[in-house]
Amino acid sequence: MIGFLRVGVPGYPERAFREAVANALIHRHYTRLGAVYAQWYEDRIEVSNPGGFPEGVRTDNLLVTPPPSAQPTAGRCFQAGRHRGTDRARD
């Protein structure tokens, strides 16, 4: 609600949001200060983390270059913590 007006909030698939946050945590640079942010706007969600593109990845080859994990151990821990056959992390 904004004042007396009801404003619709777009729905986003929970799985897509979880994947974006997981990617931000796994691929962040833990040697740099900063936090992972998830910001919800009326028309989009933005998830960001400290750091830039990995070595060899640029804006002109972003869509064709597979990104290496900045933290391979963190990636394995996230995978190990997921339930079998689902995309849900363990609580």
SS (H, E, C) the chain: CECCECCCCCCCCHHHHHHHHHHHHHCCCCCCCCCCEEEECCCCEEEECCCCCCCCCCCCCCCCCCCCCCCHHHHHHHHHCECCCCCCECC
Domain-wise residue ranges, the chain = 14-53+67-80
pTM of the model: 0.56
Number of residues written out for the chain: 91
Residues with pLDDT less than 70, the chain: 1-3, 6-10, 67-91
